[in-house]
A and B are shown apart, each in its own frame.
Chain A
Amino acid sequence: MQRRQTLFFIGILLVTLVLVVLTTLWGNKPLLGLDLQGGVSVRLTAVEPADDEMLDQAVEIIRARVDGLGVAEPEISRTEQGVMVSLPGVDDQARALELVGTTAELRFRPVCDTLPPLIGEAEPTPSSGESNLVPASCLSVSNGDVIPATGVDGLTPPEEDKAENFVILTDERTTDVFSERRLLLGPSILTGDGLSGADADFVDFEWGISVTMKDGEQGIDAFNAIASECFSSSIFCPAQAGSVRGQIALVLDSQVITAPVINAPAFEKDSILISGAYEKQQAEDVALALRYGALPVELVAENTQLVSATIGEDSLEAGLTAGIIGLAIVALFILFYYRLLGLIALTSLAISGSLLWAIISHLGTQSGLALTLAGITGIIVAIGVSVDSNVVYFEHLKEDIRDGRTARSAVDRAFKPAFSTIVKANTASLIGAGLLWWLTVGAVRGFALYLGLATILDLVATYFFMGPAIKLFSKTKTFANKPERFGLPSVGALLGDEQ
């Protein structure tokens, strides 16, 4: 039993030390939020006039796009003719633009032909001719009635990539799937508005994307109309090399995201699966692009600017000073009240604090988790709750000693009920953190993550450090002879005190 305690005690100290050293070596640092350190702001302007509702919708889509995990806490608001996006901690303006993107709509286009990759440069051609059939027949391209516009790279330039045109596009996102061949695509038959969802899905031992369409003309009906043509490989959607079926390309931003072969004549709106040996990450990226691709208005980036912190450096320094003074007072109070036990409590706090710092730094570097003022607030209160785990145990110890136990036997039995109390109370916090994380977006989600992390680390520090540490200390002579050094009453002293 005691061996296990020693193991825990040494183990947690080692783990903490290793994580702190690794974090320092890797140079991981917490990513401070917009309010604390500023970042880059991008002003996007709508190409055509847009009402508030459309811009609000764009705000939500951009939020989802720049903040996939939901914890980077960008500041996104609608302006009079567009959207303003501010990203924390990004000092590279080009990277900010890349993150924000200015995507037009997602389009579904039938694949008319697969062209080989272009070697060298091609003569740019303007588009000519029109097809008046709906859906347009691929024959009108192959017999030369319609010629799609192409640039020097043999592809249709973005400004000519209009819904009603035939286009030649390639794929850059998943080059290994398409290996840079060019696809000749028919006019768009459906836009991203017809899509209601897309998720990465693990089916038949490989990753794919399950797509859900909306009801009606602008949704599953339009999709099925072209799907049946592709299935029968008609002139509207001819079969491509290596298959007897036609393909539908999903195009975003003049790039083919994916071009699945259609393997059924008709689909239920919620049973469309794009399969094809995707990597997990690929499948998730494709699903994300499909889900959030379509902005209701077309936006162009007007300018990017570096912005300073909203709180101001003076406030930040004042807050930091105040925080350190506050912590020092707390430390003094705990030491005064609980003596050596207080020292254990403070060490336990230092352990959970170091672990939290390591995790926040890692997530900040890897997943864009931003540490905002609100996050710091949560951590401050978490300190109180962490200390409470110690206080609950210590008070339990005192109570047992007052009830006539020796300090040692109190240590043996008080940990279990005290820890059970802590677990009960912390579980409620964890339920809250989990649900808020799962169901919300924006700043609330960041808060949920901090609350959850702090709570788990509190339990870890209590179970693996504080409990074993006191157990080990209780074997010392001082503990038995002079419990008051540990801030504990000795039975006789207590009763004498009151008489």
Chain B
Amino acid sequence: MIRTLRLLYSGETPVDYPKWWKRTILISALLLVASVSSFFVRGLNLGIDFEGGTSYEVKAPGISVAEAREVLSSIGLEEARIQLVDEEVLRIRSDISDPSRTSEIRDYLNIELGQVETFEQVGPTWGSEVTNKAVRALIVFFATVAVYITVRLEWKMALGALAAVSHDILISIGIYSIFQLEITPATIIAFLTIMGYSLYDTIVVYDKVREIVGRLGATDRYKYIELMNLALNRVTMRSINTSITSAIPVLSLLLIGSLLLGATTLQEFSVALLVGIVIGSYSSLFIASFLVSLLKTREPRWREINEKISRKENENGSTRNVDLKDAVQIDSKPVERTSGPAKRKPTQVHRPGGGVPPRPRKKRRK
């Protein structure tokens, strides 16, 4: 592990992403199936904001919100929303609307907390109109982003990015469905945040792929999948650092905030965010890139290169490595390129584990 990180730090390519893809695709497929089937079988545990429920107003002077929460926890209402109204009335809202259960709760509150003054059904604060508009906005957003990525990168990457984002959102929602965690407006916002983060992360990775393929692809000496692997390795350290810095505050909220200091209300969305950050970074490296290399390898040009290289490999019986020195920035001015790589130091690189000495660079240009 340490060795791998050290190699990554020094820019080598210790991670064989294509090999990992085979496993991660399987894992992702299983997670997706589990998420989607749980969504249809178990559904989601929607909170009072979406479904409405019952509101009780209890006259209970001197009882704090924390004490009230304790009383409610003993009858399984730890998710109830408790507010102090005008200092002496407790407004308790829960998503339970079954009449026999609610009157049971009312009787319980009468005994344990104080006189229940009002007791009524309430509708959702997050109305269907809010949801409908958000769904419509998301569809427009997906379409627009697809066009945007197509223009800035290419359509195959747009497809990969959207697939990766959908993958992340579906699994995040799936986890909420499997563990029946309560969905609140804060959770929805967390899902949207995940979506933004995942897309951002995927584009950063794709941009590195585009850069590497642009620099080395013209040599015709590497398979697309090899270039992709190099690009992913070069972006791995960034991905690790960024997910660490994004995840630490959330992790701290989850561990210190809700477990150590007992702020359970923070739990719901920190779980969503943590899962989202981890999956968002994972999917850029393992799902989005896999899909693009799958699509790109089918292009006639890359297929030709693939065949040519495979033929050679069979003849020589040797394995190949991407020569890192090829990844040196080619200066943007073409004049300099023909005059030779002036700025490059002629350092010989010895690759650990590689038995093949670096090949002399061909000065071929396409």
Contact = CB atoms under 8 A, between A and B. Distances in A.
Contacts of A403: 327-329, 344
A431 B145 contact: yes
B11 A77 contact: no
Nearest to B149: A428
A421 B204 contact: yes
Contacts of B249: 323, 326-327, 330, 380, 383-384
A391 B242 contact: yes
Interface string A319-358: 1011101110110011001000000000000000000000
Main secondary structure of the interface of B (DSSP, over half): helix
Contacts of B248: 326, 329-330, 333
Given A333-B245, A432-B196, 7 more contacts: A79-B120, A305-B89, A312-B82, A312-B265, A403-B327, A425-B201, A441-B130
Interface of B: 10-12, 52, 55, 65-66, 69, 81-87, 89, 91, 120-127, 129-130, 133-134, 136-137, 140-141, 144-145, 148-149, 152-153, 185-186, 188-190, 192-193, 195-197, 199-201, 203-204, 207-208, 211, 234-235, 237-238, 241-253, 255-258, 261-266, 269, 273, 277, 327-329, 343-345, 347, 349-350, 352
Contacts of A499: 350
A335 to B, nearest CB: 12
A227 interface: no
Contacts of B327: 403
A444 interface: yes
Contact of B123 (A59, A318, A325, A413): A59
A400 B91 CA distance: 61
B207 A385 contact: no
14 contacts: A77-B52, A79-B120, A305-B86, A312-B263, A317-B261, A317-B263, A377-B190, A387-B245, A391-B245, A395-B241, A432-B145, A441-B130, A441-B133, A443-B126
B52 to A, nearest CB: 7
Interface centre among B65, B66, B243, B277 (most CB of A within 10 A): B65
Interface of A: 35, 38, 41, 52, 55-56, 59-60, 75-80, 84, 305-319, 321-323, 325-327, 329-330, 333-334, 337, 372-374, 377-378, 380-381, 383-385, 387-388, 391-392, 395, 398-400, 402-405, 409, 413, 417, 420-422, 424-429, 431-432, 435-436, 438-444, 447, 451, 489, 491, 494-495, 497-499
Main secondary structure of the interface of A (DSSP, over half): helix
A381 B204 contact: no
Contacts of B211: 417
Contacts of A374: 185-186, 189-190, 269
A440 B134 contact: yes
A204 to B, nearest CB: 33
Contacts of B273: 377, 380-381
Nearest to A395: B238
B207 A435 contact: no
A384 B242 contact: yes
A333 B242 CA distance: 11
A300 to B, nearest CB: 17
B261 A310 contact: no
Interface centre among A59, A305, A334 (most CB of B within 10 A): A305
A314 B136 contact: no
Contact of A326 (B87, B148, B152, B252): B252
Contacts of B253: 319, 322-323, 326, 380
Interface centre among A59, A307, A374, A387 (most CB of B within 10 A): A374
A307 B343 contact: no
A96 to B, nearest CB: 13
Nearest to B11: A402
Nearest to B140: A435
Given A84-B122, A323-B249, A326-B248, A308 B84 contact: yes
Contacts of A498: 10, 12, 350, 352
A298 B288 CA distance: 54
Contacts of B262: 314, 318
A327 B124 CA distance: 35
Contacts of A327: 249
Contacts of A60: 127, 129
A431 B141 contact: yes
A402 B197 contact: no
A443 B136 contact: no
Contacts of A84: 55, 122
Contacts of A439: 133, 136-137, 140
A385 B242 CA distance: 7
Contact of B185 (A311, A424, A428, A443): A443
Contacts of B148: 427-428, 431
A389 to B, nearest CB: 10
Nearest to A329: B248
A80 B54 CA distance: 10
Nearest to A35: B186
A494 B262 CA distance: 47
B125 A381 contact: no
B350 A78 contact: no
A399 B10 contact: no
B200 A431 contact: no
Contact of A314 (B66, B133, B269, B352): B66
A383 B246 contact: yes
B205 to A, nearest CB: 9
A455 B7 CA distance: 33
B84 to A, nearest CB: 4
Given A305-B86, A323-B252, A329-B248, A444 B192 contact: yes
B137 A489 contact: no
Nearest to A311: B265
B186 A322 contact: no
B241 A391 contact: yes
B352 to A, nearest CB: 7
B123 A55 contact: yes
Nearest to A438: B137
Nearest to A495: B347
A315 B83 contact: no
A378 B189 contact: yes
A76 B125 contact: yes
Interface centre among A385, A387, A413 (most CB of B within 10 A): A385
B245 A421 contact: no
Nearest to B262: A318
B343 A315 contact: no
